[in-house]
Chain A
Amino acid sequence: MSDPTTMPSPAAGSADAKTAGGEIYDLGYQNYDGIRLGRRAAVVALAVLSLRNAYGIGRGTFPKVLAFGLGAIALLPAAIVLITVALVGGDTEVVEYAEFFGFVQIVILLFVATMASELVGNDRKNNTLTLYFSRPIERSDYVFAKVGALTLALLPLTLLPQILIFIGRWMSASDSWDWLRSDFDELGPVIASSLLASLQLGAVGLAIAMFTRSRAYALVAVLGGMIVTTTVVSIIVELAESTWSAIAIFMSPLTTMSAMTTVLFDGDGGSENFAAVLQDIPDLLWVAGPLIHAAIALGLTLRRYQKAEL
């Protein structure tokens, strides 16, 4: 059947490992019998590529500008803190951690909406999904890789600026050792709130992108959905302080998020009523809020992909 052309064997020929089997094809094609790393490696590879895609690495100019531009805007509060520190000096509290997400909310939402449709919309639009699902992975692996990628992609917008703020304050402190000892505790909530917010927005954003046809629709759905629900919830909270208010807060992703940060940083969420409602329910539940949102979104996404006919 096969007609292997054996190498015109020079002196080293017989010692060459490649010719030991006596089969060298003139095309240079060789069968691969190295290791296969399996599912987990495949999922990591997919998440890494998605992360690169999100920031436009290896792609055109537009995605790069979009991602890095939004990232830069999210860094503005941190930049303000650092500039103030440099100019004014002294212990500055221009931007509170508890208020940070309030400042950059819109930018983060824009980022989530564009990236989510980029990450799942393109695979669907280009039909690449068929190729992925014919590789040795489960459909759920695909979803986890995408949610993981978007969560990680969000960290430069959520965690990084707050870390910079932390460093800025540290540098501005008169006694930096003393400051570090008293304020080091803040780092825990900073990291926890960033991770929770990124996971929640990543999962919810992907679920919304899943049900929308293009980036424009995803943008409208994410921004519209989140801002409208937030406004409605805020009105309910201001009108009456009751258990309904607490439930209402859970209904909107953004208020759930700000309840979580308020509880973690022990703030007031910018409104007395809001702070009062938070007292009604154990703190742990508020902190778990974003996780519950993420779980529901993930469940919907998984179901959608499980049922997709290719």
Chain B
Amino acid sequence: MMTESVASASSLVKRYSSVTALAGLTVDVPSGIVGLVGPNGAGKSTLIKILLGLVDATSGRAEVFGLDVATEPIRIREIIGYMPEHDCLPDDLSATRFVIHMARMSGLPAIAARERAAETLRHVGLFEERYRHIGGYSTGMKQRVKLAQALVHDPRLLVLDEPTNGLDPSGRDDMLALIERTGREFGISVIMSSHLLGEIESVCDSIILIDEGRLVRSAAVGELTGLANTLAVEVEWDPARVVDSLVERGLPAELSGSTICIDLAADSAEHPPVTRAVLDTVIELDVPLVRVARQRRRLDDLFRLEKEPG
């Protein structure tokens, strides 16, 4: 199940008059909840729009569930639900009427459209307010309507472009929980783009890193973060002096905030001598030691590491 491919791109290029948005992107999107990550302008939205057939690729191929985006966009759009990044809702219709309408635009008969709209709006957490005009909604409520219209026709794949954009921290958490539940419990594959690694890390099964229109890395989140190869050291005071001393001993130590991080590199066999050296150093400098622990690598570090060689 996890290895089945939902969408794929090969040598995908998209050039606008002066900008190259995608520069030969080749990637396989697995099923499950997939995070599409990259800085602004990396080509995330362009990739999404090509998959939906909203934008034509300059060259290369892309497929969704084995359907070619260039030749079968209508069949693809039948089984895909799309939540755009920006505002896209009419302000003078009620959420109910609008979501029913979008269900009918996907070909659902009137009665089914009505039922599914009610169900979907309840799922995203809109109750009585769904009869009010969308114009009076908060950003959080609008995001929920956008998600509801993407879900109402029961797509096999949900494509969410920056779904947490513009939300406050609690709204963000709610939206992420909603996405996670939708992906896990309904068996709908999700591709969500974000420039925030933290949120991707918390809900996604796998991650696709792109930058400047190219694939940087694609892997399961666990595979990327599971490795513990940093030793984190916290001391009561003078961390900078400790770092200097560690560097003198030939250890790749650096200061990150008030934490001393020592890269254990690939060879974890070196771990005991490193710990020994840390202890020697703090004793020698007479600095109280608070904590020594191996640290899980966070996606932030990973992104930094992946980008540095380039």
Q: Which residues of A contact B (CB under 8 A)?
A: 1-3, 25, 27-39, 41-42, 45-46, 49, 58-60, 63, 122-123, 126-128, 130-138, 309-310
Contacts and interface: CB of A to CB of B under 8 A. Distances in A.
Interface residues of B, number: 44
B288 interface: no
Contacts of A134: 52, 54, 77, 80, 82, 84
A123 B102 CA distance: 13
B167 interface: no
Nearest to B106: A135
B55 A29 contact: no
B109 to A, nearest CB: 6
Contacts of B112: 32, 34
Contact of A127 (B55, B84, B108): B84
A188 to B, nearest CB: 35
Contacts of B87: 126-127
Which residue, B52, B104, B123, B133, has most C-beta atoms of chain A within 10 A?
Answer: B104
B297 interface: no
Contact of A37 (B97, B102, B108): B108
A135 B154 contact: no
B1 A130 contact: no
Contacts of A309: 55
Contacts of A29: 119, 123, 185-186
B271 interface: no
Contacts of B154: 31-33
B93 A59 contact: yes
B77 A135 contact: yes
A31 B187 contact: yes
Contact of B105 (A28, A46, A130): A46
Nearest to B113: A45
Contact of A128 (B89, B94, B97, B184): B89
B88 A37 contact: no
A222 B87 CA distance: 29
Contact of A41 (B75, B82, B88, B107): B107
A45 B49 contact: no
Contact of A36 (B93, B106, B122, B149): B106
Contact of A58 (B97, B106, B123): B97
Given A130-B88, A134-B82, A35 B93 contact: no
Contacts of A58: 93-94, 97
A60 B28 CA distance: 47
Contact of A31 (B90, B91, B186): B186
30 contacts: A1-B1, A1-B187, A2-B185, A25-B186, A28-B123, A30-B119, A31-B187, A32-B116, A32-B153, A36-B78, A36-B108, A36-B153, A37-B108, A41-B104, A45-B101, A59-B93, A60-B92, A63-B92, A126-B91, A127-B87, A128-B88, A130-B84, A131-B149, A134-B77, A134-B80, A135-B102, A135-B106, A136-B78, A137-B77, A310-B54
A137 B101 CA distance: 14
Contacts of B105: 42, 45-46, 132, 135-137
A127 B123 CA distance: 24
A31 B86 CA distance: 27
A138 B74 contact: yes
Contacts of A34: 108-109, 112
Contacts of B133: 60
B116 to A, nearest CB: 6
A3 B86 CA distance: 34
A69 B61 CA distance: 53
B88 A42 contact: no
Interface in B281-297: none
Interface string B116-132: 10010011000000000
Contacts of B153: 32, 36
A136 B92 contact: no
A267 to B, nearest CB: 43
A124 to B, nearest CB: 11
B122 A310 contact: no
Interface in B219-259: none
Contacts of B108: 32, 34, 36-37
- Identify the 3 closest CB pairs spanning chains A and B, nearest first: A45-B104, A32-B154, A36-B107
Nearest to A43: B105
A25 B185 contact: yes
B89 A310 contact: no
B145 to A, nearest CB: 11
Contacts of A127: 84, 86-88
A126 B90 contact: yes
Contacts of A28: 119, 122-123
A309 B54 CA distance: 8
Contacts of A27: 123, 181, 185
A134 to B, nearest CB: 4
B109 A35 contact: yes
A45 B92 CA distance: 18
Nearest to B16: A309
Contacts of B119: 28-30
Contacts of A135: 77, 102, 105-106
A307 to B, nearest CB: 11
Nearest to A46: B105
A38 B106 CA distance: 7
Contact of A122 (B49, B86, B90, B102): B90
Contacts of B89: 126, 128
Given A42-B106, A127-B84, A131-B149, 14 more contacts: A2-B185, A30-B119, A32-B116, A34-B109, A37-B107, A37-B108, A39-B74, A60-B92, A126-B89, A128-B88, A128-B90, A135-B105, A310-B54, A310-B55
